[in-house]
Amino acid sequence: MAEMATPKPEVFTRKASGLVRVMSPYSAFVYNILTMGLIFPWTYLWAPGSLPGGQLVWGIILAMVIEIPIAFVYVWLSTALPRSGGDYVFQSRVFGGGVAFTVVMSGFVIWILQWVALSGWLVSYLGFAPLFLGLGATMHVASLSTLGLWFTSATGIIVVSILNALIALILLTSGFKNYVRFQHVIFWGTLLCFATVFVVLFATPASEFVARLNAFSVASGGVANFYQTAMDAVTKAGINVHPPFSLLATLLVAPIAWTSLQWATYSAEQNGEIKDARSFRSQTFIMVGSLIATGLLLALLALGIQKVAGSEFLYVAGAGYWSGISAANINGFNLWPPILAVALTASPIVVLIIGLGYLLNGFQIVCNCYIGMTRVLVAMSLDRLLPDWFSKVNEKYHTPVNAHLGYFLASIPVIVGYSLVTQPFTWVSLTLGVTFGCGYVFIITCLAGALLPYRAKEVYEASPGAKYTVSGIVGVLFTLLGAASFIALTWVLSPQAFASSVVLDWLVRLASIVAVIVFLYPMRKHLLEWLNGKPMPWLSALGMLGGGLGMAMVVAFLLSPALGVLGNWNFADFPKNLLAQIIAIAIIVISAVWYIAAKARQKSKGINVEYAFKEIPPE
């Protein structure tokens, strides 16, 4: 069946009421960019600190390329099921309620509490602190610098974080319109901040970098010859600031950059409100467009930092963060990109713009957490898997006040733990666990996409994407590439993670192969057909590729110590040194147990919760 563009639709319509979608594709595009966090800093210090020899720019580009097939799967799924709820809806359609609830509750609802805490940290540490520190330095007012440092203290961060979450709670429950109004301020403030950081990094001559950094250090109460002092301390600690290129390290930069870029598809949670949500062009612009725009800008930012500061300084700054070398920090302050930009300018206005930009984008994160997760909580409550209390909508404000309140209360212990828990592991180091948690949500959705044409045939065939197929041979190659990436990275990283146990090492390696076989075995009939040249749905081909590449990223968090605490498999003094892994597994187990318990409880009242997801046969 061929198709062509038409100048005038040849359809007859009649006046009828119905659903009105309010969010324009452009707004959804902006929403995704804000969610990805244009000005988030992880990659720039974490990667040089933990992955010597890794190429920052190429790692970011790689993360963007890996995310492209995943984003396309979401485009297909969104046009097939343009409903709010995103991942929960997609997964429940294909894998059923048990999988969807367990995955989304654990990977999103619980893990994202950490991001509520992180948002407060961003607002305090990267918003208020550099703002006052910079103003103190540029205006030579010591009390402002002192205040700036308070925002880096545990007390400062906890107070700011709780207030940050509380303000978001009040703003969002007072009516969504108030938030949307403020979102414009956030967007333009963030863009202005990012542009300013860009201009400062690219316009500052590299020859002046050392002098300006030293001057900032003095003005902030640090040492006079900061650059050389930091360089000496890092070198003395045995850190090579000129490491040779490492392919593995470059590959592992990608999962860190994925922390931002994996959110390119977050607008899927609000598909029911997006105009033209069934349109391929719109969804591609919203998801793939925002991904490429953000990926390129993040890579440019890395380029800008390298240009002005030099690669060796990135290793110095990274050591201050990752190895905790205090001499590589200014007054105890890690040298994140906004701090560098503030340090390089002598203008209080520039400091103000950058500080406010980070404040706004930090606040946007907590709002995103609430908006996304309260929708999920309401949906789960309506499915009778959470108490009715969560789905009560305030009649005056039309918002799920209880769900917001519940999420706020749940976030408080996480906020406190984020700043105070340092033993037996630092709670902060669980931050990339969110990328792991949310990562497996995205990947399971991706795999759901691969299976949608077979598990929810009617839904798929009624979708505009059903007509797009690819040669079965190409599709199988995509499948093999995805599977090979996952298995290969597991085989490379497993010996590092389980150096003390050959048995565990081989068990994990073999488990990766078994996992691929278990997933593909039900598709064996189709695989043979595709090998014989039968066309494969593009959605399945991209789902297999994106799912495999994404699984490689997720497994990297589990097996690479360089990507945070989940990759440190130290069995000594059990369970003390494996608490992070136990927490990660416990979150999944608790979610699964909750589902089973809720299902049993509802069954005793004559309610079968599976009915919420099961498709009724039309014939």
CB of 189 to another protein, least distance (A): 14
CB of 3 to another protein, least distance (A): 5
619 belongs to the binding site for another protein (CB under 8 A): yes
573 belongs to the binding site for another protein (CB under 8 A): no
Return phi, psi of residue 174, to 5°: -75, -5
Binder of another protein out of 347, 461, 511, 533 (CB under 8 A): 461
Closer of 448 and 584 to another protein (Cβ): 448
Provide the 8-state DSSP code for 40: -
Half-sphere exposure of 456 (CA within 13 A, CB side): 26
Closer of 320 and 537 to another protein (Cβ): 537
601 belongs to the binding site for another protein (CB under 8 A): no
Binder of another protein out of 139, 166, 180, 531 (CB under 8 A): 180
How far is residue 119's CA from residue 366's CA, in Å, rounded to a whole number? 6
1 belongs to the binding site for another protein (CB under 8 A): yes
- Residues with Cβ < 8 Å from 299, sequence gap 6 or more? 57, 60, 61, 64
- Amino acid identity at 122: L
Binder of another protein out of 18, 205, 238, 244 (CB under 8 A): 18
Segments in 392-501 forming alpha helices (H): 401-420, 431-455, 457-461, 472-497
Per-residue tokens: 37:
């966090």
Stretch that binds another protein, among 48-56, 171-179, 435-443, 566-574 (CB under 8 A): 171-179
CB of 9 to another protein, least distance (A): 5
Binder of another protein out of 388, 422, 593, 601 (CB under 8 A): 388
CA distances from 257 to 47, 66, 142, 398, 475 (A): 9, 11, 36, 37, 27
Stretch that binds another protein, among 106-114, 126-134, 308-316, 607-615 (CB under 8 A): 607-615
398 belongs to the binding site for another protein (CB under 8 A): yes
614 belongs to the binding site for another protein (CB under 8 A): yes
- Segment 523 to 542, residues that bind another protein, using CB under 8 A: none
Binder of another protein out of 210, 412, 416, 459 (CB under 8 A): 459
- Segment 222 to 241, residues that bind another protein, using CB under 8 A: none
189 belongs to the binding site for another protein (CB under 8 A): no
SS3 assignment, position 339: helix
Radius of gyration of the chain (CA): 25
Stretch that binds another protein, among 155-163, 332-340, 347-355, 604-612 (CB under 8 A): 604-612
How far is residue 357's CA from residue 361's CA, in Å, rounded to a whole number? 6
CA distances from 572 to 567, 569, 575 (A): 15, 9, 8
Residue 3 burial by Cβ neighbours in a 10 Å radius (0-12, 13-18, 19+): exposed
SS3 assignment, position 532: coil
Closer of 47 and 609 to another protein (Cβ): 609
Cβ neighbours, 10 Å, residue 178: 15
How far is residue 202's CA from residue 536's CA, in Å, rounded to a whole number? 46
CB of 382 to another protein, least distance (A): 5
Asked if residue 455 lies in contact with residue 94, where contact means CB atoms within 8 angstroms, the answer is yes
81 belongs to the binding site for another protein (CB under 8 A): yes
How far is residue 351's CA from residue 344's CA, in Å, rounded to a whole number? 10
CB of 211 to another protein, least distance (A): 44
DSSP string, 302-321: HHHHHHHH-HHHHHHHHHHH
Place of tokens 């050389």: 228
607 belongs to the binding site for another protein (CB under 8 A): yes
Closer of 422 and 608 to another protein (Cβ): 608
CB of 377 to another protein, least distance (A): 14
Closer of 14 and 525 to another protein (Cβ): 14
Closer of 395 and 573 to another protein (Cβ): 395
Determine the Cα angle at 554 with ends 551 and 560, to 5°: 125
How far is residue 509's CA from residue 499's CA, in Å, rounded to a whole number? 13
CB of 69 to another protein, least distance (A): 24
600 belongs to the binding site for another protein (CB under 8 A): no
Among candidates 374, 460, 467, which has minimal Cα distance to 168?
374
82 belongs to the binding site for another protein (CB under 8 A): yes
Per-residue tokens: 565:
């605490």
375 belongs to the binding site for another protein (CB under 8 A): no
How far is residue 30's CA from residue 580's CA, in Å, rounded to a whole number? 34
242 belongs to the binding site for another protein (CB under 8 A): no
611 belongs to the binding site for another protein (CB under 8 A): yes
Among candidates 334, 265, 340, 274, which has minimal Cα distance to 302?
340
- Residues with Cβ < 8 Å from 435, sequence gap 6 or more? 255, 256, 258, 259, 262, 557
CB of 454 to another protein, least distance (A): 16
Number of residues binding to another protein, judged by CB under 8 A: 67
Instruction: Kindly write out the interface string for residues 401-440 of this chain, putting x where it contacts another protein by CB under 8 A and - elsewhere.
Output: ----------------------------------------
Among candidates 447, 576, 551, which has minimal Cα distance to 493?
551
Closer of 15 and 242 to another protein (Cβ): 15
279 belongs to the binding site for another protein (CB under 8 A): yes
Stretch that binds another protein, among 14-22, 41-49, 199-207, 493-501 (CB under 8 A): 14-22
394 belongs to the binding site for another protein (CB under 8 A): yes
Binder of another protein out of 67, 87, 269, 383 (CB under 8 A): 383
Provide the 8-state DSSP code for 618: -
Residues in contact with another protein by CB under 8 A are: 1-6, 9-20, 22-23, 80-83, 92, 175-177, 180-181, 183-184, 272-273, 278-279, 382-384, 388, 391-396, 398, 458-459, 461-462, 464, 602, 605-609, 611-619
